[in-house]
Amino acid sequence: MIEPLFTIMTLQMVVLAQALDLREVKLEGEESRRMYEIVRQHVPFVERDRALGEEVAALRSALKNLSATKGGL
């Protein structure tokens, strides 16, 4: 039941990172920057439309592991 929520959260994080880059927003919070960097390690900036399935799956897995080790995001 919780699995689809991780997928939705992952997609939201990818969209947010893309929006931050497009608007050239510099994050000031340490934790915000850390999460942004995790997203960008798995899903680089999208310059042209392309399939993101494998990258999103890798990010989803990383976020699940982070959640399990830290007791939540």
Evaluate whether 67 touches 73 at the Cβ level (below 8 Å): yes
- What is the b/e burial string over 13-33, where b = at least 16 CB atoms within 10 angstroms of the residue's CB? bbeebeebeeeeeeeeeeeee
Q: In angstroms, how far is CA 34 from the centroid of its own chain?
A: 10
Residue-range domain boundaries for the chain = 3-68
Predicted model pTM: 0.88
- Alpha-helix residue ranges (DSSP H) falling in the chain: 3-22, 30-42, 53-70
Q: Tens of pLDDT along the chain (73 residues)?
A: 788 988 999 999 999 999 999 999 999 999 999 999 999 999 999 999 999 999 999 999 999 998 878 665 5
Distance from C-alpha of 70 to C-alpha of 45, rounded to nearest angstrom: 27
